[in-house]
Every structure is written in structure tokens, then in C-alpha cells.
Chain A
Amino acid sequence: MLQLLAPDGTYGVPKGYEKYGKLIEDLDEDTLKTFYRDMARIRRFDIEAIALQRQGQLGLWVPAIGQEGAQIGSGYAVGKNDHMFPSYREHGVALTHGVELMSILKMMRGVNHGGWNPEETRFHLYAIVLATQVLHAVGYAMGVKLDGKVGTGNPEEDLAVISYMGDGATAEGDVSESLLFAAVNESPIVFFIQNNQWAISAHIDSQTKAPLYTRGEGFGVPGMRIDGNDVLACYAATKLHMDQARAGQGPFLLEALTYRIGAHTTSDDPSKYREDAEVEQWKAKDPIVRFETFLRRQGVGDDFFDEVTAAGDQLAKEIREQTFALQNPPMENIFNHVYSDQHPEIDKQRAWLEAYEAQMGDHE
């Protein structure tokens, strides 16, 4: 397993992984601070979103607490032309590519269907149906190759695709199909598995017999395990293999070993199926705490951390105000985006619903 930052915050490059270490040693202090800032920011966002759900403001929330290292690290390694296909827990990756965090809250409240433009952010919409995004990602990557945007050597042209998935998704047939298609088409894609140990209540032991990083081998997709709670390992591994995919070296699979500290969603109660002691063991490997220790040893002082905490509280306050102020979308939104052009059947349905609503009177 590639680990550059031990749980106690010690940095070290294991033998044979020098090319990964080199990528970290090229980073300046501002970039490292950005990693920290965004990990802390997305966790504060997450905590506030859970509270908002408990206050009746969101239909559902999907916490990513504990997985910030995997998400921020890999997110920053995605290049400027690359496309990302998330599952539904990648709030941290969304943050690294300018997706409005409010859009995610709106989706979880049910007032939009995501609302960001994947062509602008290159971060595609959340896929609630497990593992479907992996097929979409491979299809996109195959298209990229057909367009000739792989291995030209021109950084303005070339691009690769990254597909996120959880350990639970790997048990879906879609993922096996995706690996096969990616391998035989030599598609420019990195499969990024966040193995957070639990597929809702099903432990990883019931999802796979062999380690997940070996899952691609039979299909011809090489893989590697990385410490998903080590933001630096996640950055370096994603960067190196996305660069290789972009250069035309075909697909690669990364298994980031991490842990879902919170519930699967706010509708789940993990105390029913796992022990507190296990959660505590993983809290000791927290990605943010370990990176803070590292930064402090690099000479980063209290001022910086205080500023990050204050910024997080400010963000929480803002999203709280904005969420409470959210309005229900107009009814016609149901019909507006079914077809790009006007459609007689949709017009009929719209007219029927309008007549029905009118007859109900004011229901407030």
C-alpha cells in the first residue's frame, strides 16, 4: 500500500515509490495549505448538512466524513481537461473543481436534480443508482479516444477520465463490464475506488474475496492500493496514473483504503451493525488530523489553522441561511427539461396538471 504520510504525520517515501514522492516534493506550501483548507472546509460543510437534515431542511444527507483525504487528494490531481464521474458521496471532489456546494444541498432537498453543468465543471452529476457512473465514465473515455484526444503530447488537447465508486459498487456487474470495456479499448481512465469498508451494513468481507486493487487484473487493468486517509498518497497516485492515462497508457485502478466515520446516509444507524471500537480505530487514522500534524512540523502556525476554522464556521452559517431561504421550484420545471424541444405529449400532461392544481385552490 502506498502511504506517504503515516497516521502520526510523519512523511516518508517507501522504497520503489520514488516517482510518487517526487510529485509531492514538487508541490509548494500554498498547494499543501489548500489541501488542508479544503479537507477542513468540506468536513465543516458535511457536519452542517447533517444538522440541516435533522432540522427538516434536507430530505436526506450522505456524509463523507473520514474520506476527505481520498477526495481532496485525488480531486486536485485531476487535470484541467479531465472529466470526473462521481458516485453520490464525492462532495470533496466537487469542491476541488468549483461545483457550487449549495447545488448539492438543493439536490438533497429535492429542489433540483444537481443543477451544475458537467460541461463547465467536468464533474458529472451524482449517480444515485449504484455503479452506473462507472459505465458512463468508460463510455466517455472511449469517446475521448475516438476523438483522438489521447497521447497527442499536447497538454491543451489531451484528457483522461476518472470514475469514482465505493466498495459496494464493485459487487455490481456494471463495474466488471466497465473494466472489460476499458481494458480492451485501452481507454484513458482511472477507476478510483474509495473502499470505506461498509456498503451500508454489508462489510467489505462480504463484498470481495480478493483485495479490490486486484479486481482489474483478470480484465487487464493493473491496480494499486493506496492509503485513502493520506491526502498526499491520494494526490500522487491519482496524478501519476491520470497523467499516464492521458498519455495513452490505458486504464488503471486505485483502491483507496479509507473509512466511513458517519452513517451511510441520515436514514441509516450504523450502531446497529458495527462496533464503536472499530470506528475509534479509524478515527485515530483521521486524514485531517494527520495532515495538520504534518503542516505544523513544516512550520505552519496557529494563524493559518484559526483562519481555516473561522472560514469553515462562516461557510456553515452561509449554507444554513441559504438552505432555509430555499424556495420550491415552479411546477413547470417538471416538464421543462424532458425534451429539448416542445413536445405534444408533455404539453398535454402540463395542461392536465395545471387544470388539476387550479381546481384544488390555494392549498397553503
Chain B
Amino acid sequence: MSISKFPLPDVGEGLTEAEIVSWLVAPGDMVKVNQTICEIETAKSVVELPCPFEGEVQELLVQVGDTVEVGTPIISVSTQGASPIPVVEDKTPTAAAQEADTGAEYKIPTLVGYGDAGDVKSRRSRAVKAAPTSTAVPVAMVAAAAGAADSIIAKPPIRKMAKELGVNLANLAGTGTRGEITREDVIGAASQASVFKNLTTPDVPSEREERIPVKGMRKAIATAMVSSAFTAPHVSIFVDVDATRTMEYVKRLKASVDFAGVKVTPLLIMAKAIIWAARRNRMVNSTWTDTEIIVHNFVNLGIAAATPRGLIVPNIKDADAMNMIELATAIEKLAAVARDGKTAPEDMKDGTITITNIGVFGVDTGTPILNPGEVGIVALGSIRKKPWVVDDEIVVRQVTTIGATFDHRVVDGDVASRFVQDVASVIEEPALLLD
């Protein structure tokens, strides 16, 4: 009898690590060759791993939730007598053969370090369903899924999204060609539904506490937050501003022919305002490196996005070079991609300044934490009608609060204040954007 260990393979091309999602076997279980033993989640997908050995499971060497480097042994299996496959150690098959009966430990070589992994820190979010290891040979004829004629027109990704968001396509009137249901239709219906869902009070679980393991995306978010909060001295400032004209401007843009089909929101004006204010106060659009301050003469505008898997900050490259329509389109696309969990790692790299739109959650303001590597972040609060003093009279205006946090190593108080004032001026009077 000998002990064989299975090292974590590179199941994609150039992956360096994976997280153990579940074990389907336990110590003492008998396993067969190619029996699925666990599910792993890589930067690309969730994948089932088949066992290369037949025998009795000795030990699970890594636990669910562990992130393991490719090449790390994950399971040990005691194989009866001569191993069912030629198990080799250190690429010398003869050594393995000689020691086959001595109970020595063997590890099969895997193709480790295949390709260039690149930066794996920021991983794409992915579908949670496992890609099947193999496609079983059908043993019987599967009845053709004929069913009733399907009058709903929607592409597979849209149907899939609807299923995930719990939207019943039969209840939707599509706005696309020939009544096709579009992505926007589904998202619209889902957000509509969520408004009402928020009104229900969820039941309290019977357990007094729930313990959520800190791993994956949550762990990455925590690490980035801590690293940012404890390396950069944060300073936050706030200003209340009358956003009535911004709201009017948004309304006019929505109605304009040029913006037909483009999503226009206050966030767009805010993005433009930040780009404009950053040009006037260049230090807020820079990077601290201990030996030098790199001032960027371009703006890669980060937009914090809440996704089902957590917070991510993709950015729009060279946003300063975009006109209003281009920027609006870029923001819409960035949000849609993030919601689908398809944001690519490169979209999250090299940001220079960030907006976080906390207003969509109905919050007035907050003290945002800097996206690591950046020195400025601006929070756009909710915009709502409030009493406002105009010419010593109290009138009803659309008011919002702009909150901003800076890295005090780079951005002095006067620069920070001027920058926030500049942003506020644009929100108060978007015509400033016309220069």
C-alpha cells in the first residue's frame, strides 16, 4: 500500500491558484479513478476535479475556503498494492516503482507554472455553477424538449440574467425590435421588483449569530481597505450644494436627440465635474510612491460598483478625453459589465481618481476610503428636495451633499477644499462645463 497525493492542477491556461469550494469525499471514503472529489473556483470558473487514483481517502490536505497555489497537494489517497496508475515522484518512475510497497509518499507531477499568470490579485467574478468535468455519454434517448411555442423573444444571456434576477419574462413587454426583451427591460423590472422587496421585513434567523468566512472577494476588499486606511492618512470634507440645475440639465439631455438611447444620470454630470475640477487642481489626480508623487495628466475615472459578489472599482480609461455622450456610454457599459460579474482585471487597474455613488442607496453622504494607489475619492450623496436659502428666503431646492476623502500626504487642505468647491460649483451650475 502506498500513499498518493494529488497536487492542484492548472485547469485553465496560466492559472496560479484556486479556492476550494467544496469537498465531495471525506477521509475513509473509497474513491475511483475520475470520480469527482471536489469543486474549485479559479479566476475563470468553478471546476470539478476528478481523482487520478483509486483507493481510500486518507486526508483532505486543504480545507473548504482555502486558496491554494497550483502544485499544492490537496488530497492523499492510499492506493492498494501497485498503484492503478504509474505514480512517479520527482520524475523518476523507477524510484516510485522500487518504493511502491514501502508505504512511501508519492506525488504525481503536474504541469505547473504553465504560461504567464500575470496579476492575479484582482479576479473576475464568475458564475457559481460548476462546469461539468465531462459530458456523459447519453445512455437513453432524451425526449426532445418540444413544449409549447415560445412567444418570448430574448437572447440566451438575457434569459439567463432574468432567471438569476428572478424576473419572469412572460410578464415583460419587450422594448427591442419585434418585442425582443432587452437587457435594460430585465434590469428595469428587477430594480422595480427590488423597490417593493425592500419594504418587506425579513424573518430573523433562529440562530443567534451567523458566521461568514472571510475569503475570496470579501477578503480582497478587506485587505485593500485596510491597506488604504492604514497607509494613507485620510482627510474627509463635505459640502452641501443645490443640485437643482444639474437635475434640470439631466432632464434636458435625456430629451435631446443626440442622447437618444444613452442613459443620462446625475452621476454623469458628477463625473464631468470631477474631471474638470481635477484639471484645475492637479494634485488630487496623482499617486504617492514614497519617493515621488506621480501627477497624472489624464483621468482614469474609477466608479465604485456594488455587484452581487461585493464592491469593485472598475475605471474608465482616459475619461478626460471623452465628450459627454462617450462618457455616458462608458459609464453605462461599465455598470452593465460589473453587474454581470464580467469586469476584466485590467478594467480595475491604473485608476487615478474615483467616484462612489452612495446616493443610489438613499444615503446623504459618507467618508469614503481611498481606492489603493489613488489620493482622491468623491462620494455623491442622494439628491432630494430640501429647504434652501436663496436671497434670504427659504425655498425648496434639489439638494445634495458632496463628500470627498484625500490622502493628506499629497493633498493639502487648501487644494482639497478648492477641488471640492469646484465640483460643487459645477453641480450648482453645469453650464460651467461649457467653459
Q: Which residues of A contact B (CB under 8 A)?
A: 7-8, 40, 43-44, 47-48, 50-51, 53-60, 63, 65-66, 109-110, 203, 261-263, 266-275, 277-278, 280-281, 283-286, 288-289, 293, 320-321, 324-325, 327-328, 364
Q: Which residues of B contact A (CB under 8 A)?
A: 6-13, 33-34, 44-52, 85-88, 90-91, 93, 108-112, 114, 126-127, 129, 131-138, 140-145, 156-157, 159-160
Contact A51 B45 (CB under 8 A): no
For A262, give its contact among B45, B109, B126, B135 (CB under 8 Å). Answer: B135
Contact A283 B142 (CB under 8 A): yes
Chain B nearest CB from A72 CB (Å) reads: 15
For B50, give its contact among A54, A270, A327 (CB under 8 Å). Answer: A54
Contacts of B133 in A (CB 8 A): 50-51, 54
Chain A nearest CB from B169 CB (Å) reads: 13
For B157, give its contact among A8, A53, A270, A273 (CB under 8 Å). Answer: A273
For B111, give its contact among A43, A110, A280 (CB under 8 Å). Answer: A110
Give the distance in Å from the alpha carbon of A144 to the alpha carbon of B142 in the complex: 46
For A269, give its contact among B7, B45, B160 (CB under 8 Å). Answer: B45
Chain A nearest CB from B85 CB (Å) reads: 5
Report if A55-B44 is in contact (Cβ < 8 Å); known contacts: A50-B133, A270-B131, A275-B156: no
Chosen A-B contacts, 18 in total, with CB atoms closer than 8 Å, are: A51-B34, A51-B133, A55-B52, A60-B13, A63-B135, A66-B135, A110-B111, A263-B131, A266-B11, A268-B131, A269-B131, A277-B145, A278-B156, A283-B142, A284-B144, A289-B141, A293-B141, A324-B108
For B88, give its contact among A268, A278, A289, A324 (CB under 8 Å). Answer: A324
Give the distance in Å from the alpha carbon of A277 to the alpha carbon of B160 in the complex: 11
B85 to A, closest residue via Cβ: A324
Contact A271 B131 (CB under 8 A): yes
B15 to A, closest residue via Cβ: A267
Report if A284-B135 is in contact (Cβ < 8 Å); known contacts: A54-B48, A56-B110, A272-B126: no
Chain A nearest CB from B138 CB (Å) reads: 5
Give the distance in Å from the alpha carbon of A146 to the alpha carbon of B409 in the complex: 76
Known contacts A269-B47, A321-B85, then 8 further A-B pairs from the complex at CB < 8 Å, ordered by chain A residue? A7-B141, A55-B51, A56-B8, A56-B111, A57-B110, A271-B131, A273-B157, A280-B142
B342 to A, closest residue via Cβ: A272
Give the distance in Å from the alpha carbon of A281 to the alpha carbon of B10 in the complex: 32
Contact A286 B138 (CB under 8 A): yes
B132 to A, closest residue via Cβ: A262
Contact B137 A59 (CB under 8 A): no
Give the distance in Å from the alpha carbon of A261 to the alpha carbon of B136 in the complex: 10
Contact A364 B44 (CB under 8 A): no
Report if A43-B144 is in contact (Cβ < 8 Å); known contacts: A51-B50, A54-B47, A54-B49: no
Contacts of A65 in B (CB 8 A): 135
Give the distance in Å from the alpha carbon of A54 to the alpha carbon of B134 in the complex: 10
A261 to B, closest residue via Cβ: B135
B156 to A, closest residue via Cβ: A275
Chain B nearest CB from A316 CB (Å) reads: 9
Give the distance in Å from the alpha carbon of A59 to the alpha carbon of B45 in the complex: 17
Contacts of B87 in A (CB 8 A): 324
Chain B nearest CB from A362 CB (Å) reads: 11
Contacts of B112 in A (CB 8 A): 56
Report if A43-B138 is in contact (Cβ < 8 Å); known contacts: A267-B13, A364-B90: no
B129 to A, closest residue via Cβ: A271
Contact B108 A56 (CB under 8 A): yes
Contact B143 A275 (CB under 8 A): no
For A54, give its contact among B11, B129, B138 (CB under 8 Å). Answer: B11
Give the distance in Å from the alpha carbon of A320 to the alpha carbon of B32 in the complex: 14
Contacts of A321 in B (CB 8 A): 85-86
B136 to A, closest residue via Cβ: A47
Chain A nearest CB from B344 CB (Å) reads: 13
Contact B86 A325 (CB under 8 A): yes
Give the distance in Å from the alpha carbon of A26 to the alpha carbon of B88 in the complex: 51
Contacts of A55 in B (CB 8 A): 6, 9, 49-52, 108, 110
A66 to B, closest residue via Cβ: B135
Contact B45 A272 (CB under 8 A): yes
Chain A nearest CB from B160 CB (Å) reads: 6
Give the distance in Å from the alpha carbon of A48 to the alpha carbon of B134 in the complex: 8
Give the distance in Å from the alpha carbon of A20 to the alpha carbon of B147 in the complex: 33
B114 to A, closest residue via Cβ: A59
Give the distance in Å from the alpha carbon of A43 to the alpha carbon of B129 in the complex: 24
Chain B nearest CB from A349 CB (Å) reads: 22
Chain A nearest CB from B185 CB (Å) reads: 18
For B33, give its contact among A47, A50, A273, A320 (CB under 8 Å). Answer: A320
B159 to A, closest residue via Cβ: A275
Contacts of B6 in A (CB 8 A): 55
Contacts of A8 in B (CB 8 A): 141
Q: Quick one: which of B110, B129, B131 has the most chain A CB within 10 A?
A: B131
B48 to A, closest residue via Cβ: A54
A265 to B, closest residue via Cβ: B13
Report if A51-B135 is in contact (Cβ < 8 Å); known contacts: A284-B145, A324-B85: no
Contact B7 A284 (CB under 8 A): no
Contacts of B141 in A (CB 8 A): 7-8, 284, 289, 293
